[in-house]
Copies of this chain bind each other. A is one copy, B any other.
Amino acid sequence: MLTEERYRIILERLQERGVVKLQELVELLEASESTVRRDLIDLEERQLLKRIHGGAALPSPKMQEPGIEEKTFRNIQQKNAVARLAAAQVVDGESIYIDAGTTTLAMIPFIEAKDVTVVTNGLSHIEGLVSKRIKSYLLGGMMKIHTKAVIGSIALQNMDNFRFDRCFLGTNGVDVEMGYTTPDPEEALIKRRAHQLSASSYVLADSSKLGEVSFAKLLDLNEATLITESLTPSWRKSISQKTNIIEGS
C-alpha cells in the first residue's frame, strides 16, 4: 500500500472516531508497527494529528461547523445513528444513489465499503464524497436554491444514465397509511425515480419523523426498507407488517 494511501486512511479514521489505537491501524493498514509509527510521526509534523500514548488523536479541538443552528444534540445523535446504520448496508463495489438531505449527508463519513460509486443530487454531499476519494457523479439539472439539491426534468432524464444497487432516500414523514412523504413534489419525483432504478431502496428517518405526513408522496411503506434508530413497540408492530425495518440497538 502506498504511503499517501495510508495517510489518507489514518486521517479518515481519525475524523470518524476522534482517536485511533496504533494496533488498530496496524491491522487496518496491514503494515508493520514501525511503519505505522513512522506515518504517525510524519502526520504529526504536518499538524494533521496529535500523537498520544498508544495511538493518535485529533489535533486541537477542531473548528466545528459554525452552522449547527437549531439542531439539538439529541437530534444529531439520532441522525448519526440512522446514518451509520445506512452506511453499513453498502457493500464493496456497489453503485449507490444518495439523495439530497441532511440525514443522507451524515451517512457519507460512515461509508467503509471500498470501490463504491456514488450518484447524488445533493451539492453538499459532493464535498464529503471527494474527500473520501469516492468516485462520485453529480446529477445534472436545475438547482433548488434553498436545499442545494438538483431537481427538475433534466435531473430525471439524467438519472436514466445510471442503475443502482441501492438507493438511500430522506423523507419528512413516515405514516402507516400515507407511506413516505416530503414537502416538495419535484423532489418526490426524483426520489421515486431513484427507487425505480435501484435493486434495493432504503428510506432514512429518525424517530421524530414517525407519524408525520407531508404533502408529496414518495413511496408506500412496502416499497422500501425503513432505517431508523429506535421504535416504540407499538410502532414496530404496526409498521413491520408493511415493510422491512433496519433498527438501531
Which residue numbers of A lie inside 8 Å of B, CB to CB?
2-5, 8, 16-19, 21, 52-55, 57, 123, 126, 129-130, 133, 135-143, 145, 148, 150, 154-155, 157-158, 161
Contact = CB atoms under 8 A, between A and B. Distances in A.
Contact of A154 (B57, B137, B150): B137
Contacts of A5: 19
A123 B143 CA distance: 11
B140 A4 contact: no
Given A2-B57, A157-B161, 11 more contacts: A2-B52, A2-B55, A3-B53, A4-B57, A8-B19, A123-B126, A130-B145, A137-B154, A138-B138, A139-B140, A140-B161
Contact of A52 (B3, B52, B55, B129): B3
Contact of A4 (B19, B133, B150): B19
- Chain B CB within 10 Å, residue with most, of A5, A52, A138: A138
Instruction: Give the number of copies in the complex.
Output: 2
B157 A133 contact: no
Contacts of A17: 133
Contacts of A3: 52-54
Contact of A137 (B18, B130, B142): B142
A42 to B, nearest CB: 12
Contact of A133 (B133, B145, B161): B145
A140 B158 contact: yes
A98 to B, nearest CB: 13
A9 to B, nearest CB: 11
A129 B143 contact: yes
A130 B144 CA distance: 8
A54 B130 contact: no
A3 B51 CA distance: 12
Contact of A150 (B2, B55, B138): B138
A52 B4 contact: yes
A72 B179 CA distance: 56
A3 B52 CA distance: 8
5 contacts: A3-B53, A129-B143, A139-B140, A140-B141, A140-B158
Nearest to A161: B154
A54 B31 CA distance: 15
A197 B235 CA distance: 55
Contact of A143 (B2, B57, B126): B126
